[in-house]
Structure formats: C-alpha cells, structure tokens
C-alpha cells in the first residue's frame, strides 16, 4: 500500500470515528421513569444532556482530520497523539455517562418530578455504544498516524517536486523574466523582452 493511500484510509477511519460520535451525541441514550409520581413521568436524555463531552471531542476529531493533510513529520505525529487522546476520551465518557447514578442525577436536574420521586427506573439505549465505537475508531486512527504518519506525503509534496524538477539544458534555474534586475539590464542593452530568444539580435 502506498503512503498516500494509507493516509487516505486513516483519514476515512478518523472521519468515521468522529462522525459516529457526533451522530450518537444527539440521540437518546437513557430514559428515566418515575412510577410513583402524581402522574407517571418519563425523562429522555440524549448524549449531550448527559455531558456532551463525547460530542465536543467528536468535533475536535474532525479538526484533527484536516490537520492530517496540512501537517507532516513530527507535527503530524503530534496530531496523531491528540486524535488518540480524543478517541480515548470519547470512549471513556460514553461509558461513564450511562451509569445509573449519573443518569438519575442528570434527569433530576432536568425535572422536579424525577427529583421528588422515590421509585425511579432507568432504561439505557445502545446509542452510547455507537459513540464508544466512534471513539475506538478515532483512537485507532490516531495510533496509525503516530506510527506511520511520518512517511505520508503532505499537501505541498507535489508542489515541492515540481520546484525541484530538473531544469532543461540551455536554461538557467531562474529565468531572466523572473528576475527584475535581469529584466532592467536587458532593457538597458536594447533587448526587447517581448521577443522570443530566437528573434532577439
């Protein structure tokens, strides 16, 4: 596999991880029901309601995706470390956010009926596992970047190759037209810069 293709696959992995975290953040992760309230009541909580850290780290992961292409060398390795940390943070907060005591406490802050109820039940959906999976993918992308990113091409690699290409025989690396001082000298000597080399006296 070529370095460029390897970088592209890692970028897809990074985008998938961050995208899953952002997708899951707005979905319901848990529902708290108060059965002994005056009227039975249920409070639905999304990933953002339960902390929102996973979603914020998902946005940070997308920013790191752009940095994969804009950086090179040690800077790109540092970006890989950050991506790995973002992924671990997403996975950890996703798992810790659905602990029963945290869910009930957050629901109580949202609703007085939940807070006053003595008999509450909690149902946890699978959306938090989607966020956790996104964190794992993002962490994997970060680790691959740390281990392999130094050999990937940067955004300016093609431009640098073009600048470093061999100059055709009979021509200098810096053309006279690119050098203002050479242009003035040729005008002082009576040369017409609008004529080609084969038409000049």
Encode pLDDT of 46-96 as tens digits. Answer: 999 998 899 999 999 999 988 888 888 889 999 999 999 999 999 999 999
At 37 the pLDDT is 58
Q: What domains can be seen in the chain, in order of their start residue?
A: 3-151 (1.20.140), 174-201 (no CATH)
Q: Mean pLDDT for the chain?
A: 80
| Residue 132 in this model has a pLDDT that exceeds 60 | yes
| Residue 137 in this model has a pLDDT that exceeds 70 | yes
**Measured distance CA(62)–CA(69) in Å, rounded:** 12
The 10s digit of each residue's pLDDT in 156-186 is: 544 444 444 444 444 444 444 455 566 566 6
Residue 90 or residue 189, greater confidence: 90
At 172 the pLDDT is 46
| For range 17-33, the mean pLDDT | 93
Q: How many other C-beta atoms lie within 10 A of the C-beta of residue 93? A: 23
Q: How many other C-beta atoms lie within 10 A of the C-beta of residue 166? A: 6
At 157 the pLDDT is 46
At 72 the pLDDT is 86
User: Cα–Cα distances in Å, from 139 out to 7, 17, 112, 130, 132?
Assistant: 15, 8, 39, 14, 11
- Joined together, the tokens standing for residue 74 give 């040690």
What is the pLDDT confidence band of residue 188, given thresholds at 50, 70 and 90?
A: low
With contact defined as beta carbons under 8 Å apart, do 44 and 107 qualify?
A: no
DSSP state of 166: P
At 112 the pLDDT is 67
At 43 the pLDDT is 83
At 150 the pLDDT is 85
Residue 70 or residue 111, greater confidence: 70
Give me the torsion for CA of 16, 17, 19, 23, rounded to 10°: 130
**Measured distance CA(107)–CA(129) in Å, rounded:** 20
The percentage of residues in the chain with a pLDDT greater than 70, rounded to a whole number, is 69
| For range 123-143, the mean pLDDT | 95
């Amino acid at each position: 596999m070529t370095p460029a293709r390897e970088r592209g696959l890692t970028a897809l992995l990074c985008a998938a991880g961050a995208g899953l975290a952002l997708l899951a953040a707005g979905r319901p992760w848990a529902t708290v029901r108060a059965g002994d309230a005056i009227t039975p009541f249920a409070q639905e909580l999304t990933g953002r309601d339960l902390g929102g850290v996973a979603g914020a780290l998902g946005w940070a992961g997308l920013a790191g995706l752009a940095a994969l292409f804009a950086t090179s060398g040690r800077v790109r390795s540092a970006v890989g470390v950050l991506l790995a940390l973002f992924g671990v943070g997403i996975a950890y907060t996703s798992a810790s956010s659905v602990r029963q005591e945290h869910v009930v406490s957050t629901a109580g802050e949202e609703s007085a009926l939940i807070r006053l109820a003595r008999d509450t039940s909690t149902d946890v959906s699978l959306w938090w596992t989607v966020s956790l999976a996104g964190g794992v993918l993002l962490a994997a992308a970060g680790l691959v970047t740390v281990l392999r990113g130094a050999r990937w091409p940067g955004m300016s690699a093609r431009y640098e190759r073009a600048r470093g290409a061999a100059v055709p025989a009979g021509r200098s690396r810096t053309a006279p037209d690119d050098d203002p001082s050479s242009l003035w000298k040729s005008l002082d000597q009576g040369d017409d810069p609008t004529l080609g080399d084969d038409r000049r006296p």
